[in-house]
């Protein structure tokens, strides 16, 4: 499929939903992103399953604000190692997550284990695996990509 045939794709990427940054010490990340750069913290998320303690910050305002997640591992020796790659992942808003996952899988895209689930900010999410494999040869080319179900007001604003 070429880039000139978007009508066959049953979903649209609407914009950047988040940038997730990992490090061994969340306080150092907070100093840079909150204290120096001025982002505001809108919540926190802690998950043993995801091995993460994160602050959910925001750049910008309104419908097109971008979430900036500052993450440290609960246990640096366990996986996922949210601090091992400082730019942990990029999140993209999509208008129909279920259609996107079904279509992308049919195109050979590999998803990370866990399937569609509720994310830290309360939206349904799933992750594109950074690497392809024999069954699904296409991956994120080294980048973990989070697909995030856009809320109705963002979908309306994108029309």
Q: 3-state SS of the chain: helix, strand, coil percent to 5?
A: 20, 35, 45
The 10 Å Cβ neighbour count of residue 86 is: 11
Q: Which pTM does this prediction carry?
A: 0.81
**Regarding the domain delimited by 11-157, which CATH topology (the fold level of the hierarchy) does it fall under?**
2,3-Dihydroxybiphenyl 1,2-Dioxygenase; domain 1 (3.10.180)
* Burial track 29-64 (b if 16+ CB lie within 10 A, e otherwise): bbeebbeeeebeeeeebeeeebbbbbbbbbbeeeee
Question: According to the model, what pLDDT value does residue 1 have?
Answer: 47
Q: What is the pLDDT along the chain (159 residues), one digit of tens a residue?
A: 455 555 699 999 999 999 999 999 999 899 989 998 789 999 999 999 999 999 999 998 888 899 999 999 999 999 999 998 888 899 999 999 999 999 999 999 999 999 999 999 899 999 999 999 999 999 988 889 999 999 999 999 887
CA of residue 36 relative to chain centroid, distance: 24
pLDDT given at position 7: 63
């Amino acid at each position: 499929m070429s880039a000139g045939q978007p009508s066959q794709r049953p979903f649209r990427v609407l914009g950047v939903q988040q940038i997730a940054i990992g490090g061994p010490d969340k306080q150092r990340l907070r100093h840079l992103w909150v204290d120096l750069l001025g982002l505001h913290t809108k919540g926190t998320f802690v998950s043993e399953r995801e091995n993460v303690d994160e602050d959910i910050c925001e750049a910008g305002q309104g419908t097109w604000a971008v979430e900036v997640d500052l993450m440290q591992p609960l246990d640096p020796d366990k996986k996922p190692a949210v601090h091992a790659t400082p730019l942990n992942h990029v999140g993209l808003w999509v208008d129909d997550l279920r259609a996107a996952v079904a279509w992308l899988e049919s195109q050979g895209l590999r998803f990370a284990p866990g399937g569609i689930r509720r994310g830290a900010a309360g939206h349904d999410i799933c992750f594109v695996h950074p690497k392809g494999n024999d069954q699904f040869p296409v991956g994120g080319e080294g980048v973990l990509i989070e697909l995030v179900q856009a809320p109705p007001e963002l979908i309306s604003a994108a029309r």
